[in-house]
Amino acid sequence: MLEVSSVSAGYGKLQVLFDVSATFPSGKITVVVGPNGSGKSTLLKTIYGLTRIYKGKIEFEGQDITKIQPHQKVAKGIVYLPQTDNVFDNLTVNENLRIAGYTLPKEELEERVERALEIFPILRGYMKRKAKHLSGGEKQMLAIAMALIKKPKLIMLDEPTAALAPKVAYQIINVIERLKNELGLTIVLVEQNAKVALKIGDKAILMVGGRVLYEGSPERLLRDPEFGPTYLGLRGATER
Partner 1 sequence: MVAPILIDAITYSCLYILLSLGLTLTYMTTRVPNFAHASFAIIGSYITWTWVTSRIVSSIENAIEQGLDPREINVLIREFTLQPADYIAVLVLSFVVVGLVGLAQYLLVLKPLSNRGSTLIGLMIATIAVDMLIFSFINIYADYAQAYYNGVLKELSEKAGYKIPLLVKTRDFTLYAYDRLKGLNVQGSLVLLPSLVLGLLAVLQVLLTKTKIGIALRASVENPMLAEVAGVNVNRVYALAWFVSAGLAGCAGALVPLRLFTNPALGHTLIVSIFAASIVGGLNVIYGAFLGGLLVGMSETLIMNFLTLHLGLNAGYRPMIPLLIMAVMLLLLPEGIGGYEWSKFKKRVKAS
Partner 2 sequence: MEQVQEKGESVMIGELFGGGVSQFVLDIIALFSIYSIVVLSLNLEAGYTGIPNFGKLLGVAVGAFTVSALSGRLAILFHNLENPSSPITYKDYVQESAKLVFEVNKWLAENPLMAILLLFLTLAIAALAGGAIGYLASYPAIRLRGDYLAITLLAMAEAVRVIGYNYPPIAGGTLGMQVPNPFAAVGENRYAAVTAFLALMVLVTYVLYSKMLCSPLGRVLRATRDNELSAESLGKDVVSYRKKVIVIGTATAAVAGALYAYYTGGVIATAYHRVAWTFWPWVMLMLGGMANNLGALVGTFIFVVMRYSIIRYKTVFEGILPFNVVWLDYMLLGIALLVVLMLRPQGVLPEKPVRTVKKTFYDADRRYKIETS
Which residues of this chain interact with partner 2, rule CB under 8 A?
11-12, 49-53, 69, 71
> Does residue 112 bind partner 1 (CB under 8 A)?
no
With 0-12 CB in 10 A as exposed, 13-18 as middle and 19+ as buried, what is 205? buried
Closer CB to partner 1, residue 84 or residue 181? 84
Residue 98 touches which of partner 1, partner 2, none (CB < 5 to 8 A by kind)? partner 1
Closer CB to partner 1, residue 7 or residue 143? 143
Residue 238 touches which of partner 2, partner 1, none (CB < 5 to 8 A by kind)? none
> Does residue 98 bind partner 1 (CB under 8 A)?
yes
Closer CB to partner 1, residue 146 or residue 169? 146
3-state DSSP call for residue 130?
A: strand
Name the minimum Å distance from CB 70 to partner 2: 8
> Does residue 42 bind partner 1 (CB under 8 A)?
no
Other C-beta atoms lying within 10 Å of the C-beta of residue 193: 18
CA-to-CA separations, 216 to 18, 90, 97, 123, in angstroms, rounded: 19, 42, 36, 36
Name the minimum Å distance from CB 33 to partner 2: 25
Closer CB to partner 2, residue 60 or residue 227? 60
Name the minimum Å distance from CB 34 to partner 1: 25
Q: Read off φ and ψ for residue 208, nearest 5 degrees.
A: -140, 130
Contacts of 230 (CB under 8 A, 6+ apart): none
Contacts of 171 (CB under 8 A, 6+ apart): 137
Other C-beta atoms lying within 10 Å of the C-beta of residue 160: 25
Q: Which spans of this chain sit near partner 1 (rule: CB under 8 A)?
A: 70-71, 74, 80, 85-91, 95, 98-103, 146
